[in-house]
Amino acid sequence: MSTETLLVELGTEELPPKALKSLGQAFRDGILDGLKQRELNHGEVQWFATPRRLAALVFKLQLQAPEKTIEVLGPPAERARDKDGNWTAAILGFAKKQGLEPDQLQIIDTPKGQRMGLRKIVTGTSARDSLNDIIQGSVKSLPIPRRMRWGASREEFVRPVHWVVAMLGQDRDFGEVLGLQTGNTTRGHRFLGSDSVVLDRPEQYVSALTDAQVIASFEQRQHSIRQQIEAQAETLGATAVIDPALLDEVTALVEWPVALTGAFEERFLQVPPEALILSMKEHQKYFHLVNNEGDLVPHFITIANIQSSDPSQVVAGNERVIRPRLSDAAFFFETDKKIPLADRVPSLDKIVFQQKLGSLQEKTLRMEHAAAILAQDIGAPVDLAKRAAQLSKADLVTDMVLEFPDMQGIAGSYYALHDGENADVAAALAQQYWPKFSGDRLPESGTACALGLADRLDTLVGIFGIGQAPTGSKDPFALRRASLAVLRIIVEKGLDLDLRNCLQVAASQYPDGTLTENNTEQVLQYMIERFRAWYEEEDIPAEVFKAVSAKNLSRPLDIHRRVQAVHTFAQLPEAQALAVANKRVSNILGKLDSDHKFGSVSANLLSEPQEKALALQLDTLAAACDEHLEKDEYADALSCLASLREPVDAFFDGVMVNVDEETLRNNRLNLLKQLRDLFLQVADISLLVVGK
């Protein structure tokens, strides 16, 4: 089967940098999906994305998909003829539709019986004939939230498109895409390269663009940027901090990257480094540098999109741009320090937290009470937790945070230290927002934990309480993230808190009538359910979490320990048999009348050797199991119970439970109840039974 190399490229105005990487990969995936649908096999695939282009290169693409035999099924064979032996109307109609005579049809065996039909060979799809449709399909499937039109064109795309390359070997005419005729002419760097780059074959794409001062590969360009940044930093004896998101964005802004190092005055180092970094990173897309101690140094690295004949002029221009931004940060810092944080708290009364839930000052007061109770529960200083809560939102009315919203908490920490507040309080102001995202660091001190929990729990009960719980993909108050943060703090910091009690504490701070009834239970169930996603990431089967959540527990640390124990137990060879046995026991007990009275097991009524053996084993294990449970050693408890497999199997093999004699039947039911209760002390392991 003959093959050729395929090249498809869309040439555009500058594409959105934060979306470029995903657009490049999606464009490639769209092309590959189109080829797969048409059963066109291929070899290696490369994708390309620069500010002005999206492209895909497919090697060894089959020019023709293999032919295949398909079956076209008609009516059942038993209805092919009537009682007189004539073809039925159904068969005549089917044959006519296929352009055949009834005699030309075959009997085809199927899983549902014999059918009349035919087998025919279908020619495979031509790559040349389908390429335009494949490109169009890929363009339409790109993840573009809002498309635009330009000029008089009715075509829509994320940015105006100026050229389209489509080449299959030396073929280059594949109709129009986005209103433009496809061809073999691409373009080089906007300033450094040729305006027209004519390709003879797709394989020339990378080298031809390199000659035109364009590194087409997103990954290669990113690798070059990283190497240049690290080399520039090394000359200064410093380390560049390369944020992955910023690296992606910068890679999407240039086609021919050139790293240049600039400097700023050392006086700016008196400003909180986080503010300086935000100025450089967010506004100018600069990479900052630190010394061996991790302290910021007065230099930055910028990535130019041009090889200048006089780099010093480019550097000087960047230094002129960053200086006023750093001056603003310094001015805000010095100005803000003139007013103590405590004096700013009354100003929070003018900022609405949520219309139905009051101002930020009211939220602060609620947090103050809740943080004090939480601090007492976890053994943190109550007075420090109350003070931290009181000051927690005061920096939101500072000039620094108004200019740099990401400085909230961080700015408050610096101002608190300047005001002479306790160092633990100051640290808690910054750490109240930790963790900010999945895998982020947790608050370090008990004071910070109490504050972070109080803040999130107040928001959760408040927003749920006014009927604005998350729905589908909409979560404007980030309640999912807040829930996971609460769970992580409690579990990973080893805080033995009852989440139900914590939510009730938070809800009690709201005026009567503000929140809906049963609000805390609704929030509790929502939060515990967030564990499901947590354990999915840890590859813990859903059945394990279900087995624990069936107990309706409300202590996250306890739930976590049980889940880990059940997960370990589920991997034992005895686990599945015991789960099935528990399922059977659950079904037997579940059929009893709701008013059925259970009692203790009477040894005198144990007649069969199998039930005697099971009763003896249960009595032996009960004490050991209780000892482990008193210490929350759930894994050890389940490990003990794993030895029940053989006596349980023997019981069900040799003992009839539902016998006619009532006293004997009830005694055996009591024995099964004792077995089930032993396991239920940890989890409902009957839910570990995997459905068919």
Let me know whether 332 and 369 are in one domain: no
Structure confidence at residue 609 (pLDDT): 86
Can you give the residue range of the structural domain that contains 275? 218-336
Let me know whether 403 and 465 are in one domain: yes
Let me know whether 608 and 640 are in one domain: yes
Share of the chain above pLDDT 70, in %: 99
- Tally the residues of the chain: 692
Coil, strand or helix: which one is 155? Answer: coil
Structure confidence at residue 442 (pLDDT): 97
Give the C-alpha separation, 130 to 126, whole Å: 6
The residue-averaged pLDDT of 520-529 equals 95
Q: Rounded to 5 degrees, what angle do the CA atoms 318, 321, 326 make?
A: 115
Task: Establish if 550 belongs to a structural domain.
Answer: no
CA 253 to chain CA centroid, Å, is: 26
pLDDT digits (tens, 9 = 90+) for 388-403: 999 999 999 999 999 9
Give the C-alpha separation, 99 to 404, whole Å: 74
Let me know whether 450 and 529 are in one domain: yes
Structure confidence at residue 575 (pLDDT): 86
Let me know whether 171 and 35 are in one domain: yes
Task: Establish if 549 belongs to a structural domain.
Answer: no
User: What is the crossing angle of helices 17-37 and 218-235, to 10°?
Assistant: 150
Task: Establish if 257 belongs to a structural domain.
Answer: yes
Number of domains comprising the chain: 5
Q: The pTM is what?
A: 0.82
Let me know whether 204 and 267 are in one domain: no
Q: Rounded to 5 degrees, what angle do the CA atoms 493, 494, 498 make?
A: 115
Residues 6+ apart with CB under 8 A from 577: 645, 648, 649
Let me know whether 47 and 186 are in one domain: yes
Structure confidence at residue 692 (pLDDT): 45
Coil, strand or helix: which one is 264? Answer: coil
The residue-averaged pLDDT of 439-458 equals 97
Share of the chain above pLDDT 90, in %: 70
Let me know whether 377 and 464 are in one domain: yes
691 pLDDT exceeds 70?
no
Strand partners, 6: 58, 168
Let me know whether 260 and 395 are in one domain: no
Give the C-alpha separation, 640 to 599, whole Å: 24
Query: What average pLDDT is seen over the chain?
Result: 92
Structure confidence at residue 374 (pLDDT): 97
Structure confidence at residue 1 (pLDDT): 65
53 pLDDT exceeds 90?
yes
Strands 287-290 and 352-354: unpaired
Give the C-alpha separation, 205 to 209, whole Å: 6
- H helix or E strand, kind and range, residue 456: helix 446-465
Nearest Cα to 426, choosing from 447, 406, 405?
447
More confident residue, 373 or 308: 373
Give the C-alpha separation, 367 to 453, whole Å: 9
- The strands making up 53-62's β-sheet, listed across from edge to edge, are 45-50, 53-62, 3-12, 161-168
Strand partners, 71: 119
Let me know whether 60 and 190 are in one domain: yes
Nearest Cα to 266, choosing from 257, 256, 276, 252?
276
Token pair recorded at residue 497:
């808190």
Let me know whether 235 and 175 are in one domain: no
pLDDT digits (tens, 9 = 90+) for 140-181: 999 998 888 888 778 889 999 999 999 999 999 899 999 999
Task: Establish if 120 belongs to a structural domain.
Answer: no
Find tokens 């029940």 and name the residue: 644
Q: Rounded to 5 degrees, what angle do the CA atoms 386, 391, 394 make?
A: 155
| Contact yes or no for 666/556 (Cβ under 8 A) | no
Task: Establish if 276 belongs to a structural domain.
Answer: yes
Residue 397 sits in a domain whose CATH number is 1.10.3210
pLDDT digits (tens, 9 = 90+) for 614-671: 888 888 888 888 889 888 899 999 888 888 888 888 888 888 888 888 788 888 888 8
Task: Single out the residue in 506, 539, 572 at which a domain terminates.
Answer: 539
Let me know whether 192 and 90 are in one domain: no
